[in-house]
Structure 1
Amino acid sequence: MSLAAITLVSSVLLNLFPQTPEAYGPLNFACCVKYTRKPVPFAVIKGFIEQSSIEVCRIDAIIFFTRNNKKICASVRDRWVKAALGRLRSKIAKLESKASQHMTRAGEKRVNETNTHSPWSFE
């Protein structure tokens, strides 16, 4: 067989087998390849994730999710990005604090509402 024939048969066979997307990560994940330099108003940001260059993508980035479901790639070195991350982390801390207080209060109510004398106590 000639080299051209082998190449043709090989390419046909390789195209018959579907490529597995699992080898490349989730289908809905797209890497940031450049940063936006235009600051995004904090009011439109609803969340973020961090992209690391040591994983799948080539650059380190912060990916902001906006209220209208857009993804905005930004550099963590930019001042506006640092400010937005600080505000988001502050909001998360407040929510965690409220959730912790709510759980504690709910636990206190349950203890107060139940009989404090256990059938297994030796009093």
Structure 2
Amino acid sequence: MAPHAAALLALSLLTLSTSPALGGANDAEDCCLTVNQRPIPGNIVRAFRYLLIKDGCRVPAVVFTTLRGRQLCAPPDQPWVDRIIRRLQKNSVKASLTLPSPASSLEPLPKTPSP
């Protein structure tokens, strides 16, 4: 009987740990379980997003997405994390300023002779 009770307890704990986070919109698998304290090279990062306690995560984190698509969890209170975020935001603003507007990418309309 004891092995069955242990298996049932383990199954219950597994179900609780994979169920959606209570009070938040994120699934448990969307949250970071730990964060990387070692700095991540900023040149390999292409995007970021925040996962906070108010969103239902137990560990607040900034999730960096690398150029190869990996997701790396970092502590939001570290200066190196702020530097990477500022660089990404600065590059995003630069990119939006250099992209042609939809109207300017259209070919000009042919001129019609005046009557």
* TM-score interval, normalised by the smaller of the two chains: 0.5 to 0.7
**Cα gap change, 1:28/1:46 in structure 2, threshold over 3 Å: closer, same or farther?**
farther
Deviation at 1:37, TM superposition (A): 0.9
Q: Which has the higher contact order (CA 8 A, sep 6+)?
A: 2
Whichever residue aligns with residue 62 of structure 1, its letter is V
Q: Write 1 or 2 for the structure with the bigger share of helix.
A: 1
Normalised by the length of structure 1, the TM-score is 0.60
Structure 1 stretches of 4+ moved >6 Å: 25-28
Give unpaired runs (5+ residues) of structure 1: 1-10, 12-18, 118-122
The structure that has the greater radius of gyration is 1
Aligned-residue CA RMSD (Å): 3.2
2:49 match: 49
Q: Given the two structures, how large is their TM-score scaled by the length of structure 2?
A: 0.64
Ranges in structure 2 where 5+ consecutive residues have no aligned partner: 1-7, 9-14
2:49 equivalent to 1:80: no
Which one-letter code corresponds to 1:103 in the other structure?
P
Percent identity between matched residues is: 19
Cα shift readout 1:30-49 (whole Å, capped 9, x = no counterpart): 31122211001112112111
